[in-house]
């Protein structure tokens, strides 16, 4: 961190009105595609062996329309370099570095290859706390609700904790 950044950081002792306004405000809906390639790559990386996550015939033998996504796999956001989506209400942050602080997953429905999910993320809490390692740290907690476009069922909810310092 540069001296200028440290000086900026030293001035921020509490949340700004802009930061407070971001809490509770849902971001724009983001589309996530669940593809067979995406499911297989996820399942391979995590180390699954269950054929319903790889093999169309095994999935269909279970009565599924296509291979199933393992719990926690909710597709990938549709990548378009010419269009940006504000997945979360944003604000200017003096903290430059980020860490993943935690993950919570609540699977509610089976998800299959071919599904398209609409994700809406809401910043649910935000605080700046003292940190022995970094002086100050910002803790953001966000919740995301994933809804399948075809039947409007909520298929999963996740919560993520981000640490910025």
Partner 1 sequence: MPAAQTWDSVSEGQEFETVEASDSQRLVIWAAASGDFYQIHYDDNFAKNNKLPDIIVHGALKGMWVGKLLDEIAGDDGWVKQWDVSYRGMDIAREDVTIFGKITKKYEQGGEHLVDLEVGVRRKDGSVSTPGTGTVRLKK
Cβ–Cβ < 8 Å for 120, 24: no
Neighbours of 131 (CB within 10 A): 13
Examine residue 2 and tell whether it contacts partner 1 (CB under 8 A).
no
Cβ–Cβ < 8 Å for 116, 150: yes
Q: Does 61 bind partner 1 (CB under 8 A)?
A: no
Binding residue for partner 1 (CB under 8 A) from 100, 129, 132, 151? 100
Name the 3-class secondary structure at 17. Answer: helix
To the nearest whole angstrom, how small is the minimum distance from the Cβ of residue 62 to partner 1?
7
Q: Which of 12, 36, 54, 70 binds partner 1 (CB under 8 A)?
A: 70
Q: Is 60 in the site for partner 1 (CB under 8 A)?
A: no
| 3-state DSSP helix/strand/coil % of the chain, to nearest 5 | 20, 35, 40
Q: Does 76 bind partner 1 (CB under 8 A)?
A: yes
Q: Which is nearer to partner 1, 62 or 149 (CB)?
A: 62
Q: Which one of the spans 66-74, 83-91, 117-125, 134-142 is the region binding partner 1 (CB under 8 A)?
A: 66-74
How far apart (Å, rounded) are the C-alpha atoms in residues 57 and 102? 35
For every residue of 23-46, DSSP letters joined together read: TT-B---EEEE--HHHHHHHHHHH
Q: Which of 46, 30, 43, 34 is nearest to 142 (CA)?
A: 30
User: How many residues can be counted in the chain?
Assistant: 165
* Contact window for partner 1 (CB under 8 A) among 69-77, 85-93, 111-119, 125-133: 69-77
Q: Which of 46, 60, 114, 153 binds partner 1 (CB under 8 A)?
A: 46
Which stretch, 35-43, 116-124, 133-141, 143-151, contacts partner 1 (CB under 8 A)? 35-43
Window 109 to 148, contacts with partner 1 (CB under 8 A)? none
Residues that bind partner 1 (CB under 8 A): 38, 41-42, 44-50, 52, 62, 70-73, 76-77, 99-107, 159, 161
């Amino acid at each position: 961190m540069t001296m200028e950044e440290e000086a900026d950081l030293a001035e921020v002792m509490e949340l700004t009105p802009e930061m407070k306004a971001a809490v509770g405000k849902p971001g724009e809906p983001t589309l996530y595609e669940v593809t067979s390639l995406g499911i297989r790559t996820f399942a391979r990386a995590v180390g699954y062996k269950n054929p319903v996550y790889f093999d169309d015939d095994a999935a269909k033998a279970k009565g599924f329309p296509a291979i199933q996504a393992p719990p926690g796999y909710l597709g990938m956001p549709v990548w378009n370099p010419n269009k940006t989506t504000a997945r979360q209400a944003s604000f200017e942050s003096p903290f430059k570095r980020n860490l993943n602080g935690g993950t919570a997953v609540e699977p509610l429905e089976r998800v299959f290859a071919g599904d398209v999910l609409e994700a809406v993320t809401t910043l649910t809490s935000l605080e700046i706390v003292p940190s022995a390692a970094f002086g100050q740290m910002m803790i953001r907690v966000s919740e995301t609700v994933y809804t399948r476009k075809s039947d409007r069922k909520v298929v999963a909810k996740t919560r993520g904790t981000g640490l910025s310092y």
